[in-house]
Amino acid sequence: MTVGIIGLGLMGGSFAMAVKKLPMIKDIIGFDHNKDHEKEALELNLVDKIVSFSSLKKADIIILAIPVDGIIACLKDLENVSSRTTIIDLGSTKEKIVSSIPPALRLNVVAAHPMTGTEKFGPSAAFDDLYKEKVVVLCDLENSGEHQQETAVRLFSGIHMKLVYMRAHEHDLHVAFISHMPHLISYSLANAVLQHEEHENILNLAAGGFKSMSRLAKSSPNMWGDIFRQNKIHLLDSLSYFEKELALMKKMVQNEQWNELDDKMKDANSLHDILK
């Protein structure tokens, strides 16, 4: 089969590298609105060929590895593909994307979210193990065509991903807490430090803890702005929980409730027992 990838950055480029090893894949073609990304992806051998959007529509499998607002717009331009075409979106939100799929295209589309990524972007950020042993959430899969379901499962299993099945609404609620909220907090942390500290002090004193917590603030604002807009309701809900916990711990510090604060920190320690 031929795989066409729309969006040749970290996610699309890494996906191309991963599926290239599968015997079921014959060719990998690519398209990106950024012509520099197209040139770079070709030079890095991420894809076999760069094609026009209309030519890419003829691929057996079409991967949408672009920002979530772009996915919705792109789906409208894919309505006349073959009934055998499998379209897989890799967006970090799902409910709005699923509800925006044109009815004539619904059987073609598999809504997926690979739970992986880095703060880097562009074709040069791609690497072949990005997806290996990571979770991919497949949403409302029963609404996709039987052929499309089988193709997606074969593809993700083939690159050694762990498949999880979920409703789109349920997915967006959970990722607001474990992905979207942490990104917004990281941006806020970075701005708080930039407004208070001199650049020289940041360079001299910033250690592992700050670097770890602010790493996500290097992520693409264009991509994450779209995600925050699409998952606004769940994001605000998750931030309310965070603000409540932060205010409680702040009050404990103000009132010198050190024993209570110690208990709270021990409760937080238990998270990593779950994540082992």
Of all residues in the chain, the percent with pLDDT exceeding 90 is 82
**Could you say which of 166, 181, 207 is where a domain stops?**
166
CATH of the domain at 259: 1.10.3660.10
Q: Is the pLDDT of residue 256 over 80?
A: yes
125 and 195 inside one domain: no
- Asked if 99 and 72 count as a contact pair (C-beta separation under 8 A), the reply is no
Of all residues in the chain, the percent with pLDDT exceeding 70 is 99
151 and 71 inside one domain: yes
250 and 176 inside one domain: yes
Instruction: Tell me the average pLDDT across 193-221.
Output: 82
Q: What is the pLDDT of residues 226-250, one digit of tens each?
A: 999 999 999 999 999 999 999 999 9
Distances (CA, A) of 108 to 83, 84, 93, 144: 7, 7, 19, 6
Q: Is the pLDDT of residue 32 over 90?
A: yes
Q: What is the pLDDT of residue 220?
A: 86
80 and 25 inside one domain: yes
Q: Is the pLDDT of residue 18 over 90?
A: yes
CATH of the domain at 71: 3.40.50.720
Instruction: Tell me the average pLDDT across 269-274.
Output: 86
18 and 40 inside one domain: yes
Instruction: Tell me the average pLDDT across 38-67.
Output: 95
Q: Is the pLDDT of residue 75 over 80?
A: yes
Name the residue with tokens 């994307």.
Answer: 97
144 and 218 inside one domain: no
pTM: 0.88
23 and 134 inside one domain: yes
pLDDT class of 209 with cuts at 50, 70, 90: confident
> Dihedral sign, CA of 64, 67, 68, 69?
negative
36 and 144 inside one domain: yes
pLDDT class of 64 with cuts at 50, 70, 90: very high
Give how many domains the chain has, as a whole number.
Answer: 2
137 and 224 inside one domain: no
Q: What is the pLDDT of residue 117?
A: 81
Range of the domain at 200: 171-275
Instruction: Tell me the average pLDDT across 212-238.
Output: 92
109 and 245 inside one domain: no
217 and 155 inside one domain: no
**Could you say which of 147, 166, 185 is where a domain stops?**
166
Quick one: angle between helices 221-230 and 181-196, nearest 10?
130
Q: What is the pLDDT of residues 93-129, one digit of tens each?
A: 999 999 999 999 999 999 999 999 887 889 999 999 9
Looking at the DSSP assignment, which residues form a beta bridge with residue 86?
A: 61
181 and 152 inside one domain: no
